Amino acid sequence: MSDTEPDIAAMSFEDALRALEDIVRKLESGEVPLDATIGLYERGEQLRQHCQARLDAAQMRIEKIVAGASGEAAGTAPFDA
C-alpha cells in the first residue's frame, strides 16, 4: 500500500466500495501497465473482502419478519445466519 492510499480496515463500506469501483474502471480501461494492474487487482481483492465482511456484519444485525398463521407479520426475531 502506498502512502496516499487509506488503510482499508479503517474505511467505511461506502468509501471502500467507491475505491473498488475506481479500481475496476482503471482495470477495464486496459491502459494500466502490467505491474500496476497486478497491484490494483490485489488492492481490489482486499477491498472486496472488506466490503463483504461489512455486509456480513450488517446482515447479522438484521431482524427477520416472522409471519403468523394468517400470513401477516406477527412480530420480529433476530436474524439467524
Question: Given this model, what pLDDT does residue 65 score?
Answer: 55
Domain that holds residue 27: 8-78
Nearest to residue 13, comparing CAs of 69, 55, 68, 45?
Answer: 55
Cα-to-chain-centroid distance, residue 57: 11
What is the pLDDT at residue 48? Answer: 98
Give domain status of residue 3, yes or no.
no
Whether pTM > 0.75 for this model: the answer is: no
Point out the residues of the chain with pLDDT beneath 70: 1-3, 62-69, 71, 73-81
Residue 73: the pLDDT is 67
Q: Quick check: is 1 in a domain?
A: no
How many structural domains does the chain have?
1
- Give residue 57's pLDDT: 86
Does some domain include residue 2?
no
